[in-house]
Amino acid sequence: MTQDELKAMVGQAALDHVVVGEIVGVGTGSTVNKFIDELALMKDRIAGAVSSSEASTARLKALGIPVFDCNDVGEIAVYIDGADEIDPRGHMIKGGGAALTREKIVAAQARRFVCIADESKLVDVLGRFPLPVEVIPMAAQRITRQFAAFNGEAILRMRGGAPLVTDNGQHILDVRGLMISDPLAFESEVSQWPGVVTVGVFAHQRAHVCLLGMATGVRTLD
């Protein structure tokens, strides 16, 4: 099976975790796009969605799924999103699609986080994937030096010859060379650095369930 087919398989499997009659939290990325396409098939049985990015919002609306502002809804039952890496305890690296801040906000509003990913995303220790960190632009150089003290090499993410600008108007640093053996402590520490908007370690907002797409079918980690 191709990676695309594995993503489609878990996107479909995630429908079993959608709570009928309620608002669904929707993440961002190519795996989530598969989920959104499946969700459209049951749009009459959900109250709508809250979304973690302008891209997902546009896709949801194009398929006729109402999208609500987080401030207009209370706690949501489930948030479904992909990951760049996930460890066996459900800790993740996220933000490859630059949507990490809104992803963490929606995840914090949900009772359950269901991660959908192909098997290449499962790792023992987080850090092989360059860690995305959304930063206030004027702090980027100082945060780069702070990561150097952790042996991390932070590179400003570019798009079309200019720094990428997130949905929140900020920049992204991608940090290579980290081995994140204590994701909870690491997330807590880096989140406090002045100018860090969001660090792409999701340990406080870990996945409660992971649907992992494998050649043999969907493996559930919980």
Place of tokens 């870990």: 206
The stretch near ligand 5RP (CB under 6 A) out of 64-72, 77-85, 172-180, 207-215 is 77-85
In the complex with ligand 5RP, the residue whose CB is nearer, 52 or 146, is 52
How far apart (Å, rounded) are the C-alpha atoms in residues 162 and 98?
A: 15
How far apart (Å, rounded) are the C-alpha atoms in residues 133 and 198?
A: 6
Q: Are 98 and 222 in contact (CB under 8 A)?
A: no
Residue of 85, 103, 134, 187 with catalytic role:
103
Q: Does residue 94 belong to the site contacting ligand 5RP (CB under 6 A)? A: yes
Is residue 103 among the annotated active site residues?
yes
160 labelled ligand-binding: no
How far apart (Å, rounded) are the C-alpha atoms in residues 32 and 158?
A: 23
Strands, sheet with 153-156, edge to edge from the N-terminal-most edge strand: 153-156, 171-176, 131-135, 196-199
For ligand 5RP, the binding residue among 6, 8, 14, 28 (CB under 6 A) is 28
For ligand 5RP, the binding residue among 11, 25, 90, 97 (CB under 6 A) is 97
How many other β-carbons are positioned within 10 Å of the β-carbon of residue 177? 15
Which residues between 99 and 138 bind ligand 5RP (CB under 6 A)?
A: 99-100, 103
Just list the catalytic residues: 103
Task: Catalog residues that contact ligand 5RP under the rule CB under 6 A.
Answer: 27-31, 81-84, 94-100, 103
Q: Which residues are annotated as a binding site for substrate?
A: 28-31, 81-84, 94-97, 121
